[in-house]
Structure 1
Amino acid sequence: MKKNLAILTVFLFSFAFLSVVVGIIEIGLMVLDTEIIANSDPKVMAGLIAEELVSAAIVLIISPFTSAIGLIILLFNKYRARWYFWTCLIFTLPYVFFFPIGTIVFSITWFYLLYKKREFNNNHPVNVAT
């Protein structure tokens, strides 16, 4: 159960990255669309781009709130694997730019993870041959 909560936490933290991927895919699909002509009116093109990026924008707007849920899970979950530590650090990095909620989540997450770093490193001891 603890590992499943860790996976859920990483998924919730990854929403900022997910929105970028969704945006790139949507723009790529728009470029491949044969109905759009390159010589179209700039206002029409701007409207089409805006339509394509709506779902990415929704994910981006929701992501600070999902990361706050992920932070709560992280704080109460006792799972301490090295991969969990590093993925949480990496996936919360973009939230420093989502002021104020994302920045608060970023600060608390990084402080907590760096404060508890030894617990995450000691979970998987390495056997040293003597």
Structure 2
Amino acid sequence: VFVLMRAPDLAMTQLVIETITTILFLLVFYHLPNVRRDKVHVGKEAVKLSIALLMSLFVVTFVIIAQQEQAFNKISSFYEHSDKLAGSKNIVNAILGEFRALDTMLEGIVIMIVGLGIYSLIKFKIRKGDSDARK
């Protein structure tokens, strides 16, 4: 698909982001502690279930109401002419390179910060395990 649309940069971006995200998820799942649940309280579970059902009903109602109204102008014409506005031959490159470049950069920064946080938690766990073993 990326070859047909002449967007190899988009293919590389998607490949790198998905690979990094998958590796981070696997690392987090590998280092999660085994947590056992205590006794299940039926009353607490019923309250949680009722809150979840009420919130689901609220969200569905909100979505149905929001679909009924035309609050904003449609932006499809903007995207139809985005390649001319950006001076690009490919609409995908125009949108990613010109209009979403800052957003894409900030997404990468967020993923790097999350990776550093996970790395520091793993190192903290290893150090804590070493100090517990010495006692």
**Under a length normalisation based on structure 1, what TM-score does the superposition of the two structures give?**
0.26
Structure exhibiting the larger radius of gyration computed from Cα positions: 2
Relative contact order: is structure 1 or structure 2 higher (C-alpha 8 Å, sep ≥ 6)? 1
TM-score, L = length of structure 2: 0.26
